Amino acid sequence: MEISSKAVKYGDNINTDLIIPGRYLILTDPQEMGRHAMEGLDPSFIQKSKNGVTMVVGHNFGSGSSREQAPIALKYSGVKCIIAKSFARIFYRNAINLGLPVLEVEDLWDKVDEGDLLNVNLDKGLITNSTKGFSVSAQPLPPFILEIIDKGGLLNKLREMLAKTL
C-alpha cells in the first residue's frame, strides 16, 4: 500500500483538543468534523490538507481525552497518513480502527520541511522524501492492520467478514 502526498509538520504534545476543539464534539457528520480539524492549533490547516497530506509530528501526538472524533476529523480533512515520533496509545488504536495509517519514526521530523513530497510504503515501512532524496524506515504495519486500513476501518473489515459467513 503506497501513499504519496505533501508533508504538513507540527511539534510535540498535540492533544485531541487541538486536533478538534471541544465545541465541535456535538457534530456527527465526519465531513463536517473534517472541516474543523486542527482548528485549535492551525486555522489554515484545512487549506493545507484539502488535496491530501501526510502529517509529520513530534512526540505524544493525540494525547488528552480518548475522543474518537480526533482521528475522524483528520481522516476527513484530507490526512492520508500520520508519521509521529510517538503517539498516545488510544489515539493510535482509534486511528487504525478508522482506517487512518499511523507510523512511528523517531528520526524523520528533523529532516522534513512542510511541503516536502513524501512517499510512504506501508507494507515495507519505508518513507521516502522525494523532495530531498532520502529514505527512512519505520516498523512496517502487520498484515492484519494493513487489511483494516485497506478496508477503510475495522467496522468495514468486520462487515466484510460477517457477509462471508452468512
Using a cut of 0.75, tell me whether the model's pTM lies above it. Answer: yes
Nearest CA-CA partner of 79 in 112, 124, 46, 103: 46
Q: What is the pLDDT of residues 21-69, one digit of tens each?
A: 999 999 999 999 999 999 989 999 999 999 999 999 999 999 988 789 9
Residue 123, amino acid: D
Average pLDDT over residues 78-100: 97
Rounded-to-integer distance, Cα 62 and Cα 10, Å = 12
* Mean of pLDDT over the chain: 95
Cell of 42: 492551525
pLDDT of residue 65: 83
By the 10 Å C-beta count (0-12 exposed, 13-18 middle, 19+ buried), 43 is classed as: exposed
Task: Give the domains, in start order, of the chain with CATH numbers.
Answer: 2-165 (3.20.19.10)
Predicted pLDDT at 166: 74
Q: Cell 467496522 maps to which residue?
A: 155
Give 118-137 pLDDT, tens digit per residue.
999 999 999 999 999 999 99
Specify the pLDDT at position 67.
Answer: 83
Q: Determine the pLDDT at residue 40.
A: 86
